[in-house]
Amino acid sequence: MGKFIYEGNLKVDFDDRTLAHLQMVIGTKLRRGEAFHFTWKDDTSLGNGRTSVWMHAQSSLVYKYYGSRRPTLNARWVDALAFTANSPTGLYLLPEPNGDETTGAES
């Protein structure tokens, strides 16, 4: 399990594979200077609600991976997540689509 840390105090667990895909999409949006909401479902131990944060170029973000190997990225999943990030509701997690379209992980 990796951790996504927002502004130093909000920490949420995502598996390393999911976190790598989120990092790709978030990084692309922020490099372009595009701000957006990022929303995820909270763990049941936190009440089973959801959290939404405003992502912008000045956001302090940390992606902490548990494993040492970089996951292979699924281009279809990156595209699907980017589509949500470009919508009025902002980025939210979708299940990984089936398929074998993969790209090398971001350096």
How far apart are alpha carbons 16 and 59 in whole angstroms? 21
* Across 45-74, average pLDDT: 92
Let me know: does 24 contact 63? Beta carbons within 8 Å: no
The overall pTM is greater than 0.85: yes
pLDDT tens for 92-101 read: 999 999 865 5
Per-residue pLDDT, averaged over 12-29, amounts to 96
Number of domains forming the structure of the chain: 1
Q: State what percent of residues in the chain have pLDDT above 90.
A: 79
| Pick from 45, 44, 28: nearest CA to 91 | 28
Q: How much of the chain exceeds pLDDT 70, in percent?
A: 92
| CA dihedral (15, 54, 50, 45) positive or negative | positive
pLDDT band at 27 (very low <50, low <70, confident <90, very high): very high
- pLDDT for 101 equals 57
Residue 107 confidence (pLDDT): 39
Which domain, by its residues, includes 90? 2-103
